[in-house]
Amino acid sequence: MIHIRGNGLTAINSQPVKNYALNNTLNTNDLDYPTGKRLRKEEATLLARLALTGHVVHRGRCSDYTVCKYGYAQYCQDLIELHAFAARLGVCHE
């Protein structure tokens, strides 16, 4: 018995349906609609730089931060204070 592999279509010359409207409406990763709160670029960059140096940053409910490393913790009340702390550590030079 010979098994012929096909694409599941009934006729040789039939093509699958291309529905472009369906593909555009089901895109859930579109950035037109926010799905949650995203970090600002300055904040995300600073947190990434601290993470690359081994610091763990916990973000609080009131936009405050707690930076931890080696069992020690530093509380920063806002992003400006976190930036100043990162500058004292030598993480950022601005």
d(CA 63, CA 80): 11
Q: What are phi and psi of 76, to 5 degrees?
A: -125, 130
User: What's the pLDDT score for residue 12?
Assistant: 61
pLDDT tens string 67-81:
999 999 999 999 999
What CATH number corresponds to the domain at position 83? Answer: 3.30.250
Query: What's the domain range around 76?
Result: 39-94
pLDDT tens across 8-30, in order? 666 666 666 555 555 555 555 55
pTM (2 decimals)?
Answer: 0.59
Closest CA to 70 of 55, 89, 92: 55
Does residue 82 form part of some domain? Answer: yes
48 pLDDT above the threshold of 80: yes
Number of domains in the chain: 1
